Chain A
């Protein structure tokens, strides 16, 4: 069904909006305590007088009814007779006085509000004074003129060609990893955080289920089991030294967040509560274990808010809506070192060069090249693309996680915690199909296993709905109180977006593109590698943009909130300590040239191709050819489609040619990043002729540890004609405790 609708939008695009309404800013408020106590008294008086008035009036009426036998007797003579009694005289006078004062005080507050309007202030003040004189009791406290908006304050923006800033440490991205790093590095070095959004808009806030740590608050657990689960979950492509650090430092990471103020759900003893999650087991796979520390189904939101709160506390310097477009490297004595980054200020269209001793990329994932995805519009792999274009490798990009439970067609995430709380996946016959695929862990098997199971059900004709293209997440057997307390947000999503009541009806779901296991390769200190083992001094990465690799071929649920905290902190400390000893690297000549060329190329482009068309075709081909099931032919199709789209991308044009808040231009740049990264994903996947974790090849359905137990390293090569291609290399996996075994849940 479709309907015609008319949307009207205000368009304040012209700059005169600035002149009509100058920016508001807040002035410092001091020395107003005497007025304040008056306001408090006035508020108290309002409440008390209101309550007493109600009692007086009701009392009068009730006594009248009781003593005098009904309302019908009320007459003027009757009331006049009453007034002979001093008691009733006092009663009614008090009533009258209170009513007057209550009204006068109310008037005063209203007038006070209007008196603050700059244009009519004088006359209202006259009225105010008259009003206060009129109410005798309040005359003593006459109202003073108040401050109003400071017109001159606020940012004034003088467009210039390029601004250069100098910081010890620059952090790109203000999600969980970026802000965790910022909290550490601000204490140790002069730090700037650049984000293309506002920090609290970051997609860490969309994470729901929890953060794993073997606290053993509710049942026996230890970090070694957690390490094993992480390695097994990642289908043995995990670097085991990194996984061990992740699991060990998880405990302090959770406790640190609690000390920063994060409101975790609690056990009856008042300790941090924990719940079950996919792939987390006791004693190497014996049974599910309660390891995920959580705050209802909004753990990511709480982590993001808590980290931002602590950034405010530490005085972290943010550059909001600064979009980093390029990484600056320079050769010093034959060694590649970090010089800084180039950013585009969204508000003004200005180019800023940030010279820095160390740079941390924490810019998040790149899931927006899929159509059905839980990723935000803004997750376009900007950090990965910037590094890749500067010749740095991208590791394991073929491994992309599909979360089993996204809202049907929309892809909005419904947490695995729903199954941790007892939710069950059912096909169209109402069968609990996960019993077939994972006899021990059932619905709590790892995400790649569950997503494949869902698609198998759908392909074999057991999907639900008219098209048979989804299955159900059934929460109806759980008590409504449990859903309200533990899963309030996702039940609300079901109501808002599907019109479904989860108390009584199952929720239609399908796997949704969720998380990039791959990214910029780093070591366990967060230092970026430029090949299999050489680090680039001063360059760091943490969070989804990075590949440590703790997630291997498939990330366990709750391990990403852990990853950002553990490796965000490590990168923050390492970067600041490096900056304390290192010198600035000289900026390359004309540092912003590449960015200016890119932006002006798009801005002045006159081609006929539209950004949104290319983007939706890219998403379509990735969904069709590079999702849960892949084969040689689908991946080849994806590569061919992407190449064709990249050709068309050269002929795009944007409608918005302006400088201020040009999001049209921004979306075009983001599409360029997505195209590059989608190509890396498909090309890496094509070369990996085995099935492992999130990468499942129907033509090679088993894991091949002989040939492919190694990380893919993809490099961008540019030949003499300026044509670029992708070169693949491989890096060995670090194995310490656990030899590869068959993976069963």
Chain B
């Protein structure tokens, strides 16, 4: 069901500001999640004019205000109310890939030594804010909620390629699954959707290669 709201705003404001204005002045029942309002908390991923974006990182002038701007909840997760979706399956997939540093042996007295080059290997995927824009832009995920989805694989990648981590084999086994990385059809929707500019598809391909070559 669509509802039309009409408002006059400065084109340089964020879409989130416009939605806030609607909520504060026209329709208090309009419900959505938001917090930081500058693209670091990941609360307000929405489908704006058919594309997954963060409402707080999209300015009105960038979405052609001449025409009506359409805003929908992200796809593939159950809609609970207006723009609020059930995030539990998304976070469950995240938890399933063991997203934490796994080490054996005694911890060193001081920090673990890691070269800047080794940091660079996984630096891109540490930027993830778990906003679900990538996972809910993936056609495979729309079809099949069992697929881990890009975000979970990105977070597995972050640890698989961390030189300090010793759990890569376990994580690769988890992702070497019918619902794991092999489900990815390299549509690149996820890379386009990522508000943090993570090369998501590339990360998934790197995990696939690591599974074949067992080098990481």
B129 & A200 in contact (Cβ 8 Å cutoff): yes
Partner of B9, one of A5, A12, A654: A5
A6 & B146 in contact (Cβ 8 Å cutoff): no
- Judged by DSSP, the binding face of B is loop
Report B160-171 CB contacts with A as 1/0, cut-off 8 Å: 001011000000
B143 & A263 in contact (Cβ 8 Å cutoff): no
Q: Any chain B CB within 8 A of the CB of A164?
A: no
B41 & A376 in contact (Cβ 8 Å cutoff): yes
Q: Any chain B CB within 8 A of the CB of A312?
A: yes
Which chain B positions have C-beta within 8 A of A198? Answer: 43, 87, 91
Partner of A7, one of B10, B71, B123, B178: B71
Q: Which of A23-31, A234-242, A279-287, A419-427 contacts B (4 or more CB under 8 A)?
A: A23-31
Partner of B10, one of A1, A25, A312: A1
Which chain A positions have C-beta within 8 A of B77? Answer: 24
Given A203-B35, A255-B111, A261-B165, does the pair A9, B28 have CB atoms closer than 8 Å?
Answer: no
Q: How far is the CA of A271 from the CA of B109 in the complex (A)?
A: 13
Q: How far is the CA of A146 from the CA of B144 in the complex (A)?
A: 10
B82 & A664 in contact (Cβ 8 Å cutoff): no
A205 & B36 in contact (Cβ 8 Å cutoff): yes
Given A198-B87, A312-B100, does the pair A39, B178 have CB atoms closer than 8 Å?
Answer: yes
A263 & B162 in contact (Cβ 8 Å cutoff): yes
A43 & B37 in contact (Cβ 8 Å cutoff): no
Nearest-neighbour CB distance to chain B for A157, whole angstroms, equals 10
A4 & B6 in contact (Cβ 8 Å cutoff): yes
Which chain A positions have C-beta within 8 A of B4? Answer: 6-8
Which chain A positions have C-beta within 8 A of B123? Answer: 263
- Chain A residues engaging chain B, CB cutoff 8 angstroms: 1-14, 17-18, 21-27, 29, 32-33, 35-36, 39-40, 42-44, 109-110, 113-114, 116-117, 146-149, 154-155, 197-198, 200-203, 205-206, 254-255, 258-261, 263-266, 268-272, 295, 298, 301-302, 305, 309-310, 312-313, 347, 376-378, 410, 412, 489, 492-493, 496-497, 610-612, 654-656, 658, 660-664
A309 & B208 in contact (Cβ 8 Å cutoff): no
A261 & B115 in contact (Cβ 8 Å cutoff): no
A266 & B212 in contact (Cβ 8 Å cutoff): no
Q: Could you write out 15 A-B pairs with CB less than 8 Å apart? A: A4-B8, A8-B2, A9-B19, A10-B3, A26-B92, A26-B146, A33-B176, A116-B143, A201-B36, A259-B112, A261-B100, A263-B119, A312-B94, A412-B38, A655-B28
A655 & B89 in contact (Cβ 8 Å cutoff): no
Report B61-76 CB contacts with A as 1/0, cut-off 8 Å: 0000101111111001
With A5-B68, A26-B96, A35-B178 already in contact, 11 other A-B pairs whose C-beta atoms are closer than 8 Å: A5-B69, A7-B22, A9-B2, A9-B22, A12-B79, A25-B88, A200-B41, A206-B36, A259-B108, A376-B36, A497-B38
B29 & A658 in contact (Cβ 8 Å cutoff): yes
B80 & A661 in contact (Cβ 8 Å cutoff): yes
- Chain B residues engaging chain A, CB cutoff 8 angstroms: 1-11, 14, 18-19, 22-25, 27-43, 57, 59-60, 65, 67-73, 76-84, 86-89, 91-96, 98-101, 103, 107-108, 110-116, 118-119, 122-123, 126-130, 139-140, 143-146, 159, 162, 164-165, 176-180, 182-183, 185, 197, 208, 211-212
Nearest-neighbour CB distance to chain A for B35, whole angstroms, equals 4
A261 & B101 in contact (Cβ 8 Å cutoff): yes
Given A493-B38, A661-B80, does the pair A258, B8 have CB atoms closer than 8 Å?
Answer: no
Given A26-B92, A149-B145, does the pair A5, B80 have CB atoms closer than 8 Å?
Answer: no
Which chain B positions have C-beta within 8 A of A7? Answer: 4-7, 18-19, 22, 68-69, 71
Which chain B positions have C-beta within 8 A of A254? Answer: 111
Which chain A positions have C-beta within 8 A of B100? Answer: 260-261, 309-310, 312-313
B30 & A309 in contact (Cβ 8 Å cutoff): no
A272 & B111 in contact (Cβ 8 Å cutoff): yes
Which chain B positions have C-beta within 8 A of A492? Answer: 197
B115 & A270 in contact (Cβ 8 Å cutoff): yes
Q: How far is the CA of A224 from the CA of B116 in the complex (A)?
A: 30
Partner of B65, one of A3, A301, A376: A3
Given A200-B130, A266-B116, does the pair A610, B57 have CB atoms closer than 8 Å?
Answer: no
Task: Tell me how many residue pairs across A and B have CB atoms closer than 8 Å.
Answer: 303
Q: How far is the CA of A271 from the CA of B38 in the complex (A)?
A: 31
Which chain A positions have C-beta within 8 A of B183? Answer: 113
Which chain A positions have C-beta within 8 A of B57? Answer: 496
Nearest-neighbour CB distance to chain A for B8, whole angstroms, equals 5
Given A200-B129, A312-B99, does the pair A9, B146 have CB atoms closer than 8 Å?
Answer: no
Which chain A positions have C-beta within 8 A of B143? Answer: 113-114, 116-117
The 3 closest A-B pairs by CB, nearest first: A655-B28, A261-B101, A612-B24
Q: How far is the CA of A612 from the CA of B32 in the complex (A)?
A: 16
B68 & A377 in contact (Cβ 8 Å cutoff): no
Which chain B positions have C-beta within 8 A of A261? Answer: 100-101, 159, 162, 164-165
B146 & A29 in contact (Cβ 8 Å cutoff): yes
Which chain A positions have C-beta within 8 A of B5? Answer: 6-9
B113 & A269 in contact (Cβ 8 Å cutoff): yes
A309 & B89 in contact (Cβ 8 Å cutoff): no
Q: How far is the CA of A268 from the CA of B114 in the complex (A)?
A: 9
A40 & B212 in contact (Cβ 8 Å cutoff): yes
Q: How far is the CA of A265 from the CA of B126 in the complex (A)?
A: 12
B65 & A5 in contact (Cβ 8 Å cutoff): yes
Partner of A24, one of B39, B78, B162: B78
Q: How far is the CA of A11 from the CA of B70 in the complex (A)?
A: 12
Which chain B positions have C-beta within 8 A of A22? Answer: 78
B162 & A8 in contact (Cβ 8 Å cutoff): no
Which chain B positions have C-beta within 8 A of A489? Answer: 40
Given A376-B37, A612-B24, A664-B29, does the pair A201, B8 have CB atoms closer than 8 Å?
Answer: no
A610 & B92 in contact (Cβ 8 Å cutoff): no
A302 & B6 in contact (Cβ 8 Å cutoff): no
Partner of B70, one of A8, A410, A656: A8
Most buried by A among B70, B72, B178: B178
A12 & B81 in contact (Cβ 8 Å cutoff): yes
Which chain B positions have C-beta within 8 A of A3? Answer: 8-11, 60, 65
A23 & B78 in contact (Cβ 8 Å cutoff): yes
Nearest-neighbour CB distance to chain A for B106, whole angstroms, equals 11
A144's closest neighbor in chain B, by CB?
A: B178
Nearest-neighbour CB distance to chain B for A544, whole angstroms, equals 15
Which chain B positions have C-beta within 8 A of A302? Answer: 126
A11 & B82 in contact (Cβ 8 Å cutoff): yes
Q: How far is the CA of A21 from the CA of B84 in the complex (A)?
A: 14
Which chain A positions have C-beta within 8 A of B164? Answer: 261
Which chain A positions have C-beta within 8 A of B28? Answer: 654-656, 664
B81's closest neighbor in chain A, by CB?
A: A661
A26 & B145 in contact (Cβ 8 Å cutoff): yes
Which chain A positions have C-beta within 8 A of B86? Answer: 23-24, 154
B126 & A11 in contact (Cβ 8 Å cutoff): no
Partner of B29, one of A13, A271, A295, A493: A13
Partner of B6, one of A6, A113, A146, A664: A6
Given A5-B69, A7-B19, does the pair A309, B101 have CB atoms closer than 8 Å?
Answer: yes
B41 & A206 in contact (Cβ 8 Å cutoff): yes
A2 & B8 in contact (Cβ 8 Å cutoff): yes
B60 & A13 in contact (Cβ 8 Å cutoff): no
Q: How far is the CA of A8 from the CA of B49 in the complex (A)?
A: 10
Q: How far is the CA of A707 from the CA of B60 in the complex (A)?
A: 53
A255 & B110 in contact (Cβ 8 Å cutoff): yes
Nearest-neighbour CB distance to chain A for B10, whole angstroms, equals 5
Which chain B positions have C-beta within 8 A of A36? Answer: 176-178, 180, 182
Given A39-B178, A412-B38, does the pair A13, B6 have CB atoms closer than 8 Å?
Answer: no
